[in-house]
Amino acid sequence: MYKGERMVLRFSRGQRVAHWALAVSFFVLLFSGLTLMIPSLAPLAKGGVARMIHRVFAVVFMLVPVYYALADRKGLQALITESFRYDRDDLLWLLRMPRYFFGRVKGMPPQGRLNAGEKIHHALIILTFITISLTGLVLWFGKGNLSQNEFLGMVMLHDIAMYIMVILTIGHLYFTFVYGALQGMVTGYVNEKYAALEHAKWLASIKAEKTADGKLPQSKSA
C-alpha cells in the first residue's frame, strides 16, 4: 500500500506485547466461554475442560495491564489519559465517522497518535475490561456461595461486557483491514505517509522533537 517511505515508531515493544497478549487471551476466553452459551458447543465444556482453560487465560488477561505498567508505565498512562480526553478535532472526527467507516480518510480532521474512534474503542475496552474481570472474579471465587440475585447480576454484567467487547473487536478488525494497519502492531512501525494521512497531529509532534535535537529518534528507513 505504502511504498518506499520512511517508517516511524507508533507502538513500543511493551505496547505490542500487551496488545497481542490481550488479543490472544480474549479470543481463548471468548471461545471457552461460548461453550456455555451455544448448545452445540456444550460437549466441549464437558468435565470442566473449558472452565480450566477459561480460568488460566483469565489470569493471563488480567495480568496484561500489570505487564503493561511494568514494561511501559508511561505508555499505559498515555493510553488511559488519551482515551478519555477529546478535543474539538476529535468531536468533529466522530461526526464525520461514517466517511471514515467507508474508507475515506481525506477530509477527516487531523488526529493525534490515536484517532477519536480508537479513543472510544480504548475507553470502552478499559471499562468493559474492569467489568468483565471483576464479575469474573466474583463468579470464580464466589461459586456456590452467591445468592440468586448476586449470581444473576454477575453473569448478566459479564455477558453484557462480553457482547460489547465482541462488537468492539469486530469494528477493530474491520478498520485494521480496511486501512492496512496490521503491520503497525506487528513491527511497531508505521509508514510516514500513513501517519501524515491518519495521524497528522501526532506526526507533527514527532517532527517537532526532531527539530529540537536534530534527528528523528523514532524513525527508520523502510
Q: Stretches 9-17, 21-29, 125-133, 175-183: which one binds another protein (CB under 8 A)?
A: 175-183
Helices (H) and strands (E) in the chain, counts: 10, 3
Q: How far is the CB of 109 from another protein (least distance, A)?
A: 16
Contact 184, 202 (CB under 8 A): no
Alpha-carbon gap, residue 137 to 193, rounded angstroms = 44
- Backbone φ and ψ of 190, nearest 5°: -120, 155
Q: How far is the CB of 169 from another protein (least distance, A)?
A: 9
What's the Cα-to-Cα distance from 160 to each of 86, 125, 166, rounded to whole Å? 26, 12, 10
Please report, to the nearest 10 degrees, the dihedral formed by the alpha carbons of residues 25, 155, 147, 140 taken in order.
-10
Q: Any idea which residue has 466517511 for its cell?
A: 99
x/- map, 99-118, another protein, by CB under 8 A: --xxxxxx------------
Q: Does 59 bind another protein (CB under 8 A)?
A: no
Q: Any idea which residue has 490472544 for its cell?
A: 24
Residues 135-174, interacting with another protein (CB under 8 A): 143-144, 146, 148-149, 151-153, 155-156, 159-160, 162-163, 166-167, 170-171, 173-174
Nearer to another protein, 170 or 212 (CB): 170
Q: How far is the CB of 98 from another protein (least distance, A)?
A: 10
Residues that bind another protein (CB under 8 A): 1-2, 35-37, 39, 42-43, 45-48, 50-51, 101-106, 143-144, 146, 148-149, 151-153, 155-156, 159-160, 162-163, 166-167, 170-171, 173-174, 177-180, 193
